[in-house]
Structures are given as structure tokens and as C-alpha cells.
Amino acid sequence: MSTGSTPSSAMIRSMLAAGALLICVVSSLFIGVIDMRPAELLSDPEAMWLLSSSRLPRTLAVLLTGVSLAIAGQVMQVLVQNRFVEPATAGSGQSAILGIVLMTLFFPGSSIAATMATASVTALLGTLLFLLMIRRLPPQETYLVPLVGIVYGGVVGSIAIWLAWQADLLQLLDVWMTGEFSGIMRGRYGLLWIAGVLAVFTWFVADQFTIASLGRDHARNLGLDYRTIMALGLLVISVVTAVTIVTVGIIPFIGLVVPNIVSRLHGDNLRYSLPLVAWLGALLTLLSDMVGRLIIAPYEIPVGTVFGVVGAAITLWLLYSKPAMRQA
């Protein structure tokens, strides 16, 4: 293939990717318990109200969640230098839930912003503890790191469940443990824009994260302030995790499978792979939400359940398949 055709091919792929996401977005707007057709938006005020107050906010919330969780998973994999970790399986999500439970117990009248801030702090502390735990693990044992993360997250989650059980908050805890978008309305997803802003910020410092993925010594030799980049990465992970859990709950596997798929197809340079990670995270999350709304309509299956099944299957494929050879 000649070099002159490469830009046009990349443009065609980008247009196809954008078109696929746009089709899913438009389809999502017209899927729900109440039947609504595009023509009704021009003649029926109730249809326009339904679109603006429920369908559009829900779709935007799904897109923001998919983008931010996928990018947060990419950042965590860079920091840990392991492809099989993500916030939901490394204790970050469980630590955020523990912070929410503590705020509910001791400050039941606190605002959503205060709850999110507390969840961010506990997620940050939980992620720091996880990083300290895996420092002593042998680097050649790739699968030992996620196993430790799963066990660690299980312990933290058990503490949160025990506290919720003591205070009769298990039903409330179940909302945070199962990610779903049925309760998203206009004005109830604003915190997710914080996660979206952090996702954009990650792209601006993508080169620094790429250098950090080489390891502490190599990064310092290249003049990178390794501690600052680690702190920025932990901040992105903790805030994104807290915001999404406070708003919609835990959605597993997004931060695990999306970066791995993109890495196999596009390499490890974050400057070029992050847009693909964001696109695929948004697309898969939106598709899972649409399937959850359609499979047993008019009832819903939480998107966390749907993506859990899909993500588990993709994870098994990632474990047992060989990466395709990429051109230099």
C-alpha cells in the first residue's frame, strides 16, 4: 500500500467509527418503555419532553461513563504495568463504596458533592494501598497482580457490606454495587461531566503516561517527574471511580477489556490509542445498555449485569488468544 493512501484509509475508518457510534446514540434515544418515533418530536410536545428529560440525559450519561471508565482502566494498567487490572477489580471501586457507606452512616444529610469527595479520597487511599501491596510481588508473575486485586477488593467490599448490614443499608448498597442507568434523568447526572473532563485531561498528558509505563528508572532517565505523573494518574482513577459509582454504580470489565482490545489492535502509545479507548468504551457501554432495555422489555437488565457477561467472555478470549502481530 502506498503511503499516500494511508491518510484516506484512516479517515474512512474514523468516519465509519463515528457513524457506528452515532447510529447507536440515535437508536438509544428511541428505545424505552414508552414508544416514541422521530416524527413525533415535531408534533408532540410530550415526546420532546420525554427526549429532553429522560432519553437524552440517559444516553449522555452512558457515553460519559463508558469513556471515563475505559480511560481510567487504561491509566491504572499503565501505573501498575499490568494488563489485567482495572479499578473495579483492584479495590478502587470497593474503596469508593466504603467511603459512601461511611458518609451515609455518619453524615446522612450530606450533599452529593461531599459524598463524591469522600468516595474519591477512600478510592485514592484504597488504590495507594493496592499499589503498595503489589510492589513486593515478582514482576514475572503477570496473573498474580489481578488475583491480589480481586482478593483485596473482596476484603474491602466485605467491610462495606458488614457496615451496611449493621445499619440496615443493604438495599441501598445494592444500588451502588450494580451499575444501571434507569434512574438517570435531567439534572441527575451532572457529576459525570467531571469524569468526562478528566478523560480529556488524560489525553493532554498521554505522553507522560506512556513514558511512565516504561518504569520508574526509565522515566526518570528521560527527565519525567515520575511521582507527579503517578499522583495525577491516581487522582484520575479515584475521582472517575467515585463519580461513576455515586451516579450509576459499579460497572465491571469496561476498564479491563477495552484497553486490552485497543492495545492489541493499535499498540501502546496512549496519545494515539486513547481516542480509540474512549470510542470503544462508549460504544460497548451504550450497546450493553440498549440490550438491557430490549431483552426483557418493558423491564430492564442492569447494564452492569449485561457488561459483566460480555466482559467475562472477552476476558477469557484475551487470556487464551494470541495477540495479532502489529506492524512497526
Tens-place pLDDT, residues 2-23: 444 466 777 787 788 889 989 9
pLDDT of residue 280: 93
Model confidence pLDDT, tens digit, residues 75-112: 888 888 888 888 888 888 899 999 999 998 888 888 88
Q: Which residue has the higher pLDDT, 44 or 158?
A: 158
Q: What is the mean pLDDT of residues 209-228?
A: 78
> What confidence tier does 69 reach under pLDDT thresholds 50, 70, 90?
very high
How far is the C-alpha of 311 from the C-alpha of 110, rounded, in Å?
35
pLDDT of residue 322: 64
Domains of the chain: which residue ranges?
60-179+186-320
**Closest CA relative to residue 297, chosen from 117, 36, 32:** 32
Q: What CATH number was assigned to the domain covering residues 60-179+186-320?
A: 1.10.3470.10
pLDDT at 222 over 90: no
pLDDT at 217: 75
pLDDT attached to residue 197: 92
Which of 45-59, 150-164, 222-236 has the least mean pLDDT? 222-236
Q: Report the residue count for the chain.
A: 328
Check residue 282 and give its pLDDT. 94
Q: Per residue in 228-264, is it b (16+ CB within 10 Å) or e — as a string?
A: ebbebbbbbbbbbbbbbbbbbbbbbbbbbbbbbbbbe
Sign of the CA dihedral running 281, 284, 290, 291? negative
Is residue 159 within 8 A of residue 27, CB to CB? The reply is no
| CA pair distance 114, 2, nearest whole angstrom | 56
Identify the band that residue 284 occupies on the pLDDT scale cut at 50, 70 and 90. Answer: very high
d(CA 43, CA 37): 11
Model's pTM, two decimal places?
0.87
Say what the pLDDT of residue 2 is.
Answer: 43
- Using alpha carbons, list the distances in angstroms from residue 166 to 102, 145, 171, 207: 12, 32, 12, 47
Query: In the prediction, which pLDDT does 144 show?
Result: 84
Q: Using CA atoms, how far apart are residues 55 and 32, in angstroms rounded to an integer?
A: 8
